[in-house]
């Protein structure tokens, strides 16, 4: 859209309206759009203020997914849909309410957070909740090759909004440099988290299915750079009963054993894979 006075040819400013990545503006649920303005400062500020008063301001949680193509690195922005609600009882090992823990993390000057624990203990659901509730942009990749280039890191640092980089299955990426960790990659992590190009509204979260981060480069976990290390664990039977109550689920049937969060929501099926496959191909 180009705006200009009726008596002049020159434009006052340009405005670009963008809906989300699916580009289907007729779907009823698409209530969000973004507007970018270019033009003289005071004029743009006036229009932006009036637009904000009329339509309000909001920010969508999104994932910026980086991947490799034949032409090099590329990414796609994916708007997050509302995740299932979480309750503090799902994460008793956090030691405090979920909201207050992550509020402290976002406010703190330290950038790095480690989340460790066996599969099914709720690491991913906790991350999804954190990103969505705080309307963050999460940068992710599952291609280690992209972590060894500058493009994704530079883009991460240059984002306008609060953002978090999520590095999953990170145990092999954060090893101490003296024991064979990738020097160049570690230097990138150190600079982004608390180096020359450090920005307060950039966070980095490392996750692993192991129970510890032994061998992590000491520079990455020093005070001022590392906020903390969460150790996710299975729930005791008593904790699982409270979590099930809050989730509106029946109590776990098996007493006296620990239960991971995933099994609470998806109880193991009594029918085995072998039994399901009986008769197939005969």
CATH number at residue 182: 3.40.50.300
CA distances from 79 to 19, 31, 126, 253 (A): 11, 12, 18, 38
Q: Are residues 193 and 75 in the same domain?
A: yes
Q: Are residues 17 and 147 in the same domain?
A: no
Neighbours of 70 (CB within 10 A): 5
Mean per-residue pLDDT pooled into runs of 10, the chain (282 residues): 59 56 46 64 78 71 90 88 92 95 93 90 94 93 84 83 86 57 64 62 86 72 84 94 94 84 79 48 44
Name the residue with tokens 């904000």: 52
Q: Are residues 97 and 192 in the same domain?
A: yes
Q: Are residues 162 and 176 in the same domain?
A: yes
Cα–Cα distance measured from residue 119 to residue 211, given in angstroms and rounded to the nearest whole number = 10
Convert the pLDDT of each residue in 27-72 to its tens digit. Answer: 444 455 566 666 777 777 887 788 777 766 667 788 999 999 988 8
142, part of any domain = yes
Q: Are residues 203 and 115 in the same domain?
A: yes
Instruction: State residue 126's pLDDT score.
Output: 94
- H runs (alpha helix) in the chain: 41-55, 98-107, 123-133, 144-147, 151-157, 183-194, 237-247, 261-265, 273-276
Name the residue with tokens 């990414």: 75
Instruction: State residue 82's pLDDT score.
Output: 86
Neighbours of 77 (CB within 10 A): 12
257, part of any domain = yes
Instruction: State residue 197's pLDDT score.
Output: 58
Of the candidates 56, 76, 75, 118, the residue with the CA atom closest to the CA atom of residue 93 = 118
Is residue 1 within 8 A of residue 17, CB to CB? The reply is: yes
Instruction: State residue 222's pLDDT score.
Output: 79
Q: Are residues 32 and 19 in the same domain?
A: yes
Cα–Cα distance measured from residue 165 to residue 153, given in angstroms and rounded to the nearest whole number = 9
Q: Are residues 71 and 189 in the same domain?
A: yes
Domain count, the chain: 3
Q: Are residues 117 and 46 in the same domain?
A: no
Full residue range of the structural domain in which residue 111 is found: 63-231
278, part of any domain = no
277, part of any domain = no
Instruction: State residue 4's pLDDT score.
Output: 59
Neighbours of 71 (CB within 10 A): 6
């Amino acid at each position: 859209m180009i705006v200009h006075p009726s008596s002049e040819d020159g434009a006052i400013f340009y405005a670009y309206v963008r809906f989300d990545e699916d580009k289907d503006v007729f779907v009823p649920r698409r209530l969000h759009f973004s507007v970018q303005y270019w033009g003289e400062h005071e004029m743009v500020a006036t229009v932006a203020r009036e637009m904000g008063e009329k339509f309000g301001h909001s920010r969508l949680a999104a994932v910026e997914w980086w991947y490799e193509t034949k032409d090099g690195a590329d990414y796609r922005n994916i708007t997050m849909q509302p995740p299932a609600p979480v309750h503090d009882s799902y994460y008793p090992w956090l030691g405090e309410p979920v909201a207050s823990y992550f509020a402290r993390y976002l406010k703190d000057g330290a950038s790095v957070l480690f989340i460790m624990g066996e599969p099914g203990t709720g690491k991913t659901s906790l991350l999804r909740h954190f990103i969505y509730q705080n309307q963050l942009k999460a940068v992710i990749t599952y291609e280690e090759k992209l972590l060894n280039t500058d493009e994704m890191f530079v883009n991460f640092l240059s984002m306008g909004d609060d953002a978090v980089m999520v590095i999953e299955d990170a145990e092999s990426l954060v090893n101490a440099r003296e024991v064979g960790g990738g020097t160049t990659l570690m230097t990138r992590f150190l600079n982004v988290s608390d180096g020359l190009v450090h920005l307060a509204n950039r966070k980095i979260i490392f996750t692993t299915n192991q129970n510890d981060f032994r061998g992590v480069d000491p520079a990455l976990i020093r005070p001022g750079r590392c906020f903390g290390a969460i150790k996710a664990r299975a729930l005791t039977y008593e904790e699982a009963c409270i979590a099930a109550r809050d989730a509106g689920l029946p109590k776990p049937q098996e007493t006296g054993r620990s239960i991971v969060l995933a099994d609470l929501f998806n109880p193991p099926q009594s029918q085995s894979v072998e039994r399901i496959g009986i008769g197939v191909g005969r």
